[in-house]
Amino acid sequence: MASLPAAALTTAGLLGGFATARATKNRPLGGAVLAAAGAGAFAFWKKDAGVPAAIGLTVLYLGAFGGSHPLAKKIGAWPAVWTVTGATAAASLLLPKKRA
């Protein structure tokens, strides 16, 4: 099992970024929350599983953000954000640790 802090950061980034953008009506500010949390999660993933896995999970994280937009048209904004957040956090938790 990989990093609980990374899963928490991705959750904070996706949910917090969306909530920030929505509450402030400032999308770049929401993007800054998303980016900061993603950078923190990358550091944990790199430590836990190595650079290739960290890059892959970062791609997943950013893909989840992008994928939430078309999904929102089908199921609504918050349900879409919750769905992609859960998938990203689960992937972070299921990532095996690198061998010493």
Tell me the per-residue pLDDT of 15-70, one tens digit each, with 9 for 90 and over: 999 999 999 999 999 999 999 999 999 999 999 899 999 999 999 999 999 999 99
The tokens of 85 are what? 């957040």
Positive or negative, the CA dihedral 55, 57, 61, 67 is: positive
d(CA 12, CA 9): 5
pTM for this model (two decimals): 0.90
Residue 80 sits at φ, ψ, to 5 deg, of -65, -45
Q: Left, alpha or beta for 96 (phi > 0: left; psi -120 to 50: alpha)? A: beta
